């Protein structure tokens, strides 16, 4: 299940996602004429990860807020709830991710 | 509804760090202010933001559980980027920036698969070539690539790989540059803007 956010996190994520796409494009446009290979590596690497992050239907881990309160609550993030429901296996998996 | 995979949100946020090479496209002086003030201002703002997060317990999307009570990896990564561009010449900083930003997500994506280490090494070599390194710089390319991948795979907390990879590789290249000539930088300041 994919992570779902609500409330103020939506705006933050939307802004962040826009930056994830806009910054590499701007970098490619600005440094492309001087260093095309460099610009290509930056653009390809970024767009690859953006596509993976935004690809619909990709299996992923569920957020603790979904497990406890349901995904449709307004303020999905609460530190105490998240800490309480985080399983050891899930935490260990998250710890080793880069 | 914004819907993102948290693991890939972190990885995409990591790769976007490669855009820090834009620093070298800035004019030397922006309305009379030297360009090095830009990363300094970024450090001040992000330090204020990170201390706010730690004091108030604010949660950032994509934050790992163990980072809630300590300085987060993204802050360490940003600080390393700033140190790189301020302390090292462009020929060292640019490949180190790109290696730190791109190799980590690649190794994460290929975790458990055969050839992940070779793929990371190939990416490092491509980055060095893109940064202006040529055949005569083979020793720098080889040492930098091996060091970056080794540091990436061996770094353990409390020293995050987001610090060890760029700074460690940068220090190694700097030490070698005392004996071997570095290539010239490939990114020139963009003319006619913000002068």
Q: Quick one: pLDDT at residue A4?
A: 58
| Cβ–Cβ gap B15/A98 under 8 Å | no
Q: Quick one: pLDDT at residue B72?
A: 86
pLDDT digits (tens, 9 = 90+) for B145-191: 999 999 988 877 777 888 999 999 999 999 999 999 999 888 998 87
Q: Quick one: pLDDT at residue A96?
A: 47
Residue written as tokens 């060292």? B92
Q: Quick one: pLDDT at residue B4?
A: 65
Residues of chain A in contact with residue B127, where contact means CB-CB under 8 angstroms, are 41
Q: Quick one: pLDDT at residue A63?
A: 42
Q: Quick one: pLDDT at residue B145?
A: 95
Which stretches of chain A drop beneath a pLDDT of 50? 1, 59-98
Q: Quick one: pLDDT at residue B179?
A: 92
| Cβ–Cβ gap A4/B7 under 8 Å | no
The minimal CB distance from A17 to the residues B2, B24, B25 is found for: B2
Residue B168 and residue B149: Cα distance in Å, rounded?
Answer: 11
Nearest to B122 by CA among A48, A41, A28, A51: A41
Q: Quick one: pLDDT at residue B3?
A: 59
Residue B39 and residue A1: Cα distance in Å, rounded?
Answer: 38
The minimal CB distance from A10 to the residues B2, B7, B8 is found for: B2
Cβ of B15 under 8 Å from any chain A Cβ? Answer: yes
Q: Quick one: pLDDT at residue B194?
A: 53
| Cβ–Cβ gap B2/A83 under 8 Å | no
Q: Quick one: pLDDT at residue B47?
A: 93
Contacting B residues, span 43-102, partner chain A, CB-CB under 8 Å: 57, 59, 61, 64-66, 68, 94, 98, 101-102
Which stretches of chain B drop beneath a pLDDT of 50? 1
Q: Quick one: pLDDT at residue B16?
A: 92
| Cβ–Cβ gap A45/B2 under 8 Å | no
Q: Quick one: pLDDT at residue B70?
A: 83
The minimal CB distance from A60 to the residues B6, B59, B188 is found for: B6
Give φ, ψ of A63 to 5 degrees. -80, 150
Token pair, residue B140, equals 């720098």
Residue B51 and residue A46: Cα distance in Å, rounded?
Answer: 28
pTM to 2 decimals?
0.79
């Amino acid at each position: 299940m994919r992570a779902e956010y609500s409330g103020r996190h939506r705006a933050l994520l939307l802004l962040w996602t826009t930056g994830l796409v806009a910054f590499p494009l701007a970098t490619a446009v600005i440094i492309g004429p001087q260093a095309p290979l460099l610009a290509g590596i930056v653009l390809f690497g970024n767009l690859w990860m953006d596509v993976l992050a935004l690809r619909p239907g990709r299996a992923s881990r569920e957020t603790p807020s979904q497990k406890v309160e349901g995904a449709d609550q307004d303020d999905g993030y609460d530190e105490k709830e998240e800490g309480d429901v985080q399983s050891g296996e899930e935490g260990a998996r998250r710890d080793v991710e880069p | 509804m914004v819907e993102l995979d948290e693991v890939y949100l972190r990885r995409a946020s990591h790769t976007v760090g490669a855009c820090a090479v834009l620093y070298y496209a800035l004019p030397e002086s922006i309305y009379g202010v030297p360009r090095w003030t830009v990363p300094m201002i970024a450090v001040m703002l992000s330090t204020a933001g990170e201390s706010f997060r730690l004091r108030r317990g604010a949660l950032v999307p994509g934050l790992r559980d163990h980072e809630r009570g300590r300085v987060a990896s993204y802050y360490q990564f940003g600080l390393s980027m700033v140190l790189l561009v301020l302390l090292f010449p462009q020929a060292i900083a640019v490949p180190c920036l790109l290696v730190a930003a791109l190799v980590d997500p690649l190794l994460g994506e290929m975790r458990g698969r055969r050839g992940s280490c070779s793929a990371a090494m190939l990416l490092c070599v491509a980055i060095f070539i893109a940064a202006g390194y040529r055949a005569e710089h083979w020793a720098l390319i080889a040492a930098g690539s091996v060091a970056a991948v080794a540091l990436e795979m061996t770094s353990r907390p409390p020293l995050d790989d987001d610090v060890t990879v760029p700074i460690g590789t940068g220090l190694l290249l700097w030490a070698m540059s005392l004996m071997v000539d570095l290539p010239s930088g490939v990114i020139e300041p963009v003319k006619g803007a913000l002068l």
